[in-house]
Amino acid sequence: MTKKQKRMLMRIGGAAALFISGMVLEDITVGVVLLLAAYALISWDILWRAAANIRQRRVFDENFLIAVATLGAIALGDYSEGVAVMLLYQIGEGFQGYAVQRSRRSISSLMDIRPDTACVLRDGAEEEVFPDEVEVGETIIVRPGERVPLDGIITKGEGHLDTSALTGESMPRVVRANDEIISGCINQSGVLEVRVTTPYEESTVERILSLVEEATDKKATTEAFITRFARWYTPAVVIGAVLLALVPPLVTGDPFGMWIYRALTFLVISCPCALVISVPLSFFAGIGGASRVGILIKGGNYLEALAKADTVVFDKTGTLTKGSFHVASVIPAEGFAEEDVLFYAANAERYSTHPIGRSILRAFTGGGGTTEDTDVHAMEENAGRGISAHINGHFILFGTHDFLTAKKTINIPPVPHTGAVYLSIDGCFAGVVHVADEIKEDAAEAVRALKERGIRETVMLTGDSRPIGMSVGKSLGIDTIHAELLPQDKVAQVETRIAAQQNGKTLAYVGDGINDAPVLARADVGIAMGALGSDAAIEAADVVLMTDEPRKIATAIDIARKTMRIAWQNIIFAIGIKGIVLVLGALGYAGLWAAIFADVGVTVLAILNAMRALHVKEY
Tell me if 77 sits within 8 A of 108, measured CB to CB. no
Between the alpha carbon of residue 163 and those of residues 180, 518, 559, the distances in Å are: 13, 29, 22
Alpha-carbon gap, residue 594 to 587, rounded angstroms = 13
Strand residues in 63-170 grouped as ranges (E): 118-122, 125-129, 139-142, 152-156, 159-162
Neighbours of 137 (CB within 10 A): 9
Q: Which helix (H) or strand (E) holds 312?
A: strand 309-315
Phi, psi of 167 (to 5 degrees): -115, -15
Helix 256-270 crosses helix 221-252 at what angle (to 10 degrees)? Answer: 170
Name the amino acid, one letter, at 516.
D
Coil, strand or helix at 159: strand
**Of 78, 151, 162, 315, catalytic:** 315
Between the alpha carbon of residue 578 and those of residues 88, 267, 268, the distances in Å are: 17, 11, 10
Exposed (0-12), middle (13-18) or buried (19+): which is 127, by Cβ within 10 Å?
A: middle
Name the amino acid, one letter, at 360.
I
Neighbours of 49 (CB within 10 A): 17
Closest CA to 616 of 554, 574, 570, 568: 554
Phi, psi of 78 (to 5 degrees): -90, 70
Say which residues have a Cβ less than 8 Å from residue 509's Cβ, sequence separation at least 6.
312, 313, 314, 315, 494, 516, 519, 520, 522, 523, 525, 526, 527
First to last CA, the chain: 33
373 is catalytic: no
Closest CA to 132 of 209, 212, 206, 185: 206
Exposed (0-12), middle (13-18) or buried (19+): which is 153, by Cβ within 10 Å?
A: middle
Exposed (0-12), middle (13-18) or buried (19+): which is 618, by Cβ within 10 Å?
A: middle
DSSP 415: P
Helix 466-476 crosses helix 443-452 at what angle (to 10 degrees)? Answer: 60
Residues serving a catalytic function are 315
